[in-house]
Chains A and B, each alone.
Chain A
Amino acid sequence: DSGVTQTPKHLITATGQRVTLRCSPRSGDLSVYWYQQSLDQGLQFLIQYYNGEERAKGNILERFSAQQFPDLHSELNLSSLELGDSALYFCASSVGERGGFTDTQYFGPGTRLTVL
């Protein structure tokens, strides 16, 4: 158990809909990262928040947005969903703002999104 929790575990929805994925980082971690893993793809970095502020942006679509709340949990909002958005969405956390480089990223178990 990494200490990072993600809800829900599974989500099935229809095209055009909007969903919200939730992530609670490990206690004491200030950074939250969101990744997308499509079928047979590596983890694609979407966005990072550090202590409530956006810190880095990757290949995140304009239809997607995220935020980190004062209690440090984060939500990833996906709107106008398309079939191609079906994927595993991982959240990771780290103590500092350069996780993966200066400190370890801890990953949650992921949310599997299926868009029908």
Chain B
Amino acid sequence: DQQVKQNSPSLSVQEGRISILNCDYTNSMFDYFLWYKKYPAEGPTFLISISSIKDKNEDGRFTVFLNKSAKHLSLHIVPSQPGDSAVYFCAAASGGSYIPTFGRGTSLIVHP
């Protein structure tokens, strides 16, 4: 049973537009959420995180939104750049089970 779900395997966006990557979770014990970016032939790289006490966290062009009641989070990239083309993994953790549980990833392609 997948506790972290990324239902869109891929997303295609034009350069300069907004990219929105979505993630749903089922375990209400999760209280810390992370996004990782992965380029081919490299390991995942931490991108941004959010604690459950917040509903938004921003870092430059990247913003993560958390809707606890819907058990949903999203990553917004504005403006999108071709270098953002990568696989994005959503992950969730809790104080009791601190090892992050990962989703299957969404492949983002940003077209010039």
B-binding residues in A (CB < 8 A): 2, 4, 33, 35, 40-45, 48, 56, 58, 90, 92, 98-102, 104-110
Contacts and interface: CB of A to CB of B under 8 A. Distances in A.
Contacts of B44: 43, 90, 107
A109 B45 contact: no
B63 to A, nearest CB: 19
Interface residues of B, number: 25
B18 interface: no
Q: Which of B2, B44, B46, B101 has the most CB of A within 10 A?
A: B44
B102 A101 contact: no
B7 to A, nearest CB: 13
Contacts of B46: 104-106
B41 interface: yes
B65 to A, nearest CB: 20
